[in-house]
Structure 1
Amino acid sequence: MNHTLKRFTLFICLLPAIKLSAQTNTVSNKVMQDIYQQVKTPYKYGLVMVPDSNSKKMDCPSVFRKRNNWYMTYLVFNGRGYETWLADSKDLLHWKTRGRILSFSDTTQWDSNQKAGYIALQDYKWGGSYQLQKYRDKYWMSYFGGQSRGYEKGLLSISVANTDKDPSTPHEWQRLDHPVISSIDKDVSWWDNHTQYKETVIWDKAKLTGHQFVMYYNANGDSVNKKRGAERIGMAVSDDMLHWQRFGKDPVLNHGDGITGDPYIQKIGDVYVMFYFGAFWKTGTTGVFNRFACSYDLVHWTDWAGDKLIESSEPYDHMFAHKSFVVKYKSVVYHYYCAVNKADQRGIAVATSKDVGKSELNFVAPPVKKKK
């Protein structure tokens, strides 16, 4: 066999692998359209959680199931910083606060004034159990923390917390005494070299990245003109939930100098779906909104460029409608998001795939300004 024939034979043998690689790295428009049809939620039910005073703001819902009930972790900002709270519901529409799970602590600790927590290792199958999985006989959360007072002020870094108690009961989770991802790490990259924000951690038992735990997080890093302000979503990996390293030097989702943030993962069939929000993009889509990207391998993501999943349309979300958490239960999709009105009141709302009525919940009436 001559060299030309050998090369041709080798090329033919490699065609299946080349085709598989191409399929793995890019999700077709047809599949993206199908995913959109499955996840869209055109019916806004309204607010499901609101603060009990105008001095507080609610943010970043995470929803999981335990036994026959649903539970939501969420953030409360009261002027000092973030704490993480727990609520429960029987029907995914009516929620009741139960108590705190990550609270302010001694001011000598690195995370004393900021503890923004998010559930980890959830069953991420679309329409699945949505239960939290145990690893080493413990339930896990990730969170970003910091010592500075104020709204997302100072150095914010990512760490993890766990508990061997029932996660559906309010109690303080045990935290590490140090960050696991920080902008002062030796392996920090250009896109996350200022501060870290929201993250989500999945248990990838197939080890598509070579590691069983995968974290997606958004971070503030250098912008095009080297000034801080841009946020993008990137990856970190771990084999034990305690020690983390960045995966790659670049973000997996990047829309320039705006914000690409708050990732959350579901798996629909063989497609991984990342829900996230976009804000203040300089090109393409404008406004603040929720949308999604898709992947076959957890590394290469195809961005959806069609209609937005959630955007401002109602008085309670007129300023911002963003930050996703999406579940499917009994053929209904529930898309929870952070709603901010013109008075800068911040609560948690939900949109659904079927009309389930309208919420009667409203923000606390803002104080009336006295005329001079």
Structure 2
Amino acid sequence: MDERSMDPQDTEQIDDETIAEWTAPFEDWYYYPDHVIQPEPNIKGYEDVFKTDIPTVYQIPGDETWYMSFVGFNGDGYQSFVAESDDLVNWSNPRLAFGFGPEGAFDHGGVTLGAYLYESYDIDAPRRMKRHDGSFWSLYGAYPRQGEYETRPGSEGLAKSNDGITWERAKDDPILSVHQDDCGEWEQSCIYQPWLLEHDGHYYDFYNAANGSVEKTGLATSEDLRSWDRYEDNPVVDTGPEGSFNEQFSSDPKVYWDEDHWVMFFFGVGRDGAHIMLAFSRNLHNWTVNPDPIYEAGGHPHDLDERFAHKTSLVYEPDEGIYYLFYNAVGNRGRGIGLLTSEPLPGVEYPQR
């Protein structure tokens, strides 16, 4: 039997020893000295962007270039941009990928790409986009009004692209919103960032949402990318107990298949920071959280992430045998895109504490 298709009613928790074994390969990585995308990335025509966020690295079929979509905030709201690289460290040619929606639309205040349809979700597979019905596809976070940061109530939309670079709305109403009949109490204030996964002929949307100031992670499923049904036992990743690293948030899930189990990278908020954490599952529905972060806020020796270490994008470079973990690093140099690698990169002078 394919272990990826195990019964969602199997609610057995994963034991501590197994959690420690599955976590170990992602610990003790190397902090790149600086942001790889600066808070002020100097994008032609968008020089007013002063915060960058939500990195997602991918490749396009037939193209060996690496691409990174990221969000830029200019005081009015989020827009999504894309840069390119041939070494996963030096990024250039940033340009608009997906801009504000029209006035009055659910995405007029901001669009956050990053939930792409991939050919494979294996943890060592290339993040190569997959065509479906002739197009590339992404779910995205959306905000209704400009002039603020993540204006509530956020929702999620569906976008498509012909080339994997420039995107457009594929559906004129949200795929998930707080106004839908199956919206749960835990998500009634705001819906945030999605993660799209295709498995066994079904589409999965892992997403974080808020009730008041508390964020948790839920799941919705679809057969066609356009119509979505929430999982009846949401949230699938709850917040942790008082004093934990995810006491207030369990957010921004990114899910991959790792040999015989699923691993979710997410961020927890607790203990005065945002931290990169892991949860594990055998069936995509029942998750066991490792309560100890793999990377805590303030871990970077240059304090790039002294406030927040969160919102990850994981890529494996097979020629080097190195994992690259991009993340939103918020600290003494503003809000930009940081990098951790599983091995030290040649020619890089690493900071020491």
Q: Equivalent residue of 2:304, what SS?
A: helix
Once residues 298 and 48 of structure 2 are traced to their aligned partners in structure 1, the CA distance between those partners, rounded to angstroms, is 21
The answer as to whether partners of 2:254 and 2:266 remain within 8 angstroms in 1 is: yes
Which residue of structure 1 lines up, in the alignment, with residue 25 of structure 2? Answer: 38
Q: What is the TM-score normalised by the length of structure 1?
A: 0.81
Is residue 259 of structure 2 the alignment partner of residue 269 of structure 1?
yes
Q: What is the CA distance between 1:41 and its match in structure 2?
A: 4.7
Deviations 1:154-181 (A, max 9, x none): 3211111112x121xx323233111111
Is residue 284 of structure 2 the alignment partner of residue 298 of structure 1?
yes
Which residue of structure 2 lines up, in the alignment, with residue 231 of structure 1? Answer: 215
Deviations 1:316-366 (A, max 9, x none): 2222121111122232111111011246x2100101111115489xxxxxx
Which residue of structure 1 lines up, in the alignment, with residue 104 of structure 2? Answer: 108
Q: What is the TM-score normalised by the length of structure 2?
A: 0.85
Deviations 1:118-149 (A, max 9, x none): 13222211111221112222211111212212
Is residue 89 of structure 2 the alignment partner of residue 93 of structure 1?
yes
The answer as to whether partners of 1:41 and 1:352 remain within 8 angstroms in 2 is: no
Give unpaired runs (5+ residues) of structure 1. 1-18, 222-227, 361-372
The answer as to whether partners of 1:47 and 1:359 remain within 8 angstroms in 2 is: no
Is residue 189 of structure 2 the alignment partner of residue 200 of structure 1?
no
Once residues 58 and 296 of structure 2 are traced to their aligned partners in structure 1, the CA distance between those partners, rounded to angstroms, is 21
Q: How does 1:134-145 map to 2 (within 5 A)?
A: 134-145=131-142
For residue 179 of structure 2, the aligned residue among 173, 184, 192 is 184
The answer as to whether partners of 1:41 and 1:335 remain within 8 angstroms in 2 is: no
Which residue of structure 2 lines up, in the alignment, with residue 328 of structure 1? Answer: 316
Give 2:274's aligned amino acid. Answer: V
Once residues 204 and 187 of structure 1 are traced to their aligned partners in structure 2, the CA distance between those partners, rounded to angstroms, is 23
Which residue of structure 2 lines up, in the alignment, with residue 288 of structure 1? Answer: 274
Q: What is the CA distance between 1:69 and its match in structure 2?
A: 1.4
Q: How does 1:302-313 map to 2 (within 5 A)?
A: 302-313=288-299
Deviates most, 153-162 or 191-200: 153-162
Once residues 71 and 329 of structure 2 are traced to their aligned partners in structure 1, the CA distance between those partners, rounded to angstroms, is 13
Deviates most, 241-250 or 79-88: 241-250
Deviations 1:254-304 (A, max 9, x none): 115611111101111021110000013xxxx66321011010100000111
Indicate the structure (1 or 2) with the bigger Cα radius of gyration: 1
User: Aligned pair in 2 of structure 1 residues 303, 55: CA closer, same or farther (>3 Å)?
Assistant: same
Query: Could you say what the CA RMSD is over the residues aligned between the two structures, in angstroms?
Result: 2.3
Which residue of structure 1 lines up, in the alignment, with residue 115 of structure 2? Answer: 119
Once residues 130 and 336 of structure 2 are traced to their aligned partners in structure 1, the CA distance between those partners, rounded to angstroms, is 28
By percentage of residues, which structure has more helix? 1
Give 2:133's aligned amino acid. Answer: R
Deviations 1:18-38 (A, max 9, x none): x99998733333332232222
Q: Percent identity?
A: 25
Deviations 1:202-225 (A, max 9, x none): 0012x5xxxx0000000011xxxx
Once residues 339 and 21 of structure 1 are traced to their aligned partners in structure 2, the CA distance between those partners, rounded to angstroms, is 35
The answer as to whether partners of 2:66 and 2:85 remain within 8 angstroms in 1 is: yes
Which residue of structure 2 lines up, in the alignment, with residue 369 of structure 1? Answer: none
Once residues 286 and 147 of structure 1 are traced to their aligned partners in structure 2, the CA distance between those partners, rounded to angstroms, is 29
User: Aligned pair in 2 of structure 1 residues 41, 70: CA closer, same or farther (>3 Å)?
Assistant: farther
Which residue of structure 2 lines up, in the alignment, with residue 147 of structure 1? Answer: 144
Q: What is the CA distance between 1:249 and its match in structure 2?
A: 4.0
Q: Equivalent residue of 1:288, what SS?
A: strand
The answer as to whether partners of 2:48 and 2:74 remain within 8 angstroms in 1 is: no
Which residue of structure 2 lines up, in the alignment, with residue 245 of structure 1? Answer: 229
Once residues 121 and 55 of structure 1 are traced to their aligned partners in structure 2, the CA distance between those partners, rounded to angstroms, is 27
Deviations 1:170-196 (A, max 9, x none): 323233111111111111111111110
